[in-house]
Amino acid sequence: MTGPDSRKVIDIALVKQVCSNCNLHQLCLPMGIDMEDVERLDTIVKRRRPLPRGGYVFHLGDEFIALYAIRSGSVKTYTITEDGSEQITGFHLPGEIIGLDAINTGRHPCGARALETTSICEMPFIRLEELATTVPGVGRQLLRVMSREINAENELLTLLGKKSAEERLAALLLSLSMRYKARGFSSREYHLSMSRHDIGNYLGLAVETVSRLFTRFQQQGLIHVRNKYIQLIEIEQLQQLAGMKNCTASS
């Protein structure tokens, strides 16, 4: 740590530590904002030390101070029902912003925990609002991100309201696949950072059902799973499965 090139190492680390150099530019808050303004955004973003698996980004009921962007790793957000059981409301990948649901009440109505070692960018909301008044693009983008969030939840609603267990799992696997792809990772294989339990919770299914579906999909040659590592073999068939169920012989 004190060798001749330690300064250089630190420099590289620092360079990576700003929005303008972040490869998630196109997904995160800076999207559609020009360079000059991104630099102003940079001044208010704080980086926190990496969170271990299971660490809290924020707790349920915490006072709302900041929005959080995921830099690397993954996070689950969840609420707790009156009877004490947890409902996971989302799995979040790098470039996504969490905490938006706290703006309304000033307290976090959900909690957020890291599913693996995770780096977070903290954006104090007051500073962000200030910035929004001087930089119109920031306000606009903030609205867009929130709108996107509403869209995502609408999709999940449809999933939980109308779809079978099969369709739900296929949809989740494909959703993760597409989102990893958008982030420059493989869309054919990835690491499931969440437990089977979490998947079941999120999809409104029992753990056992999820487990059975994994084995069945594998037997059908659609996927290949080995613990947390998954390969999607027949993506098209999965899409069929996720989308339309009553299409065995018809249409």
Residues lying near a copy of itself in the complex (CB under 8 A) are found at 79, 81-83, 85, 87, 89, 100-105, 109-110, 129, 132-133, 136, 139-140, 142-151, 153-158, 160-162, 201-204, 243-247
Q: Which is nearer to DNA, 130 or 208 (CB)?
A: 208
- Verify binding: residue 146, DNA, rule CB under 7 A: no
Q: Residues 232-243, buried b or exposed e (16+ Cβ, 10 A)?
A: bbeeebbeebbe
- Verify binding: residue 78, DNA, rule CB under 7 A: no
H/E segment holding residue 196: helix 196-203
The phi and psi torsions of 87 (rounded to 5 degrees) equal -120, 115
Which neighbouring-strand residues pair with 124? 66
- Verify binding: residue 87, DNA, rule CB under 7 A: no
- Verify binding: residue 179, DNA, rule CB under 7 A: no
Q: Which is nearer to a copy of itself, 15 or 103 (CB)?
A: 103
**Orientation angle between helical segments 35-42 and 136-162, nearest 10 degrees:** 80
Which neighbouring-strand residues pair with 75? 92, 114
Here the tokens at position 134 are 């001087």
- Verify binding: residue 195, DNA, rule CB under 7 A: yes
**Residues forming the site for DNA (CB under 7 A):** 164-166, 195-197, 204-212, 214-215, 225, 227-228
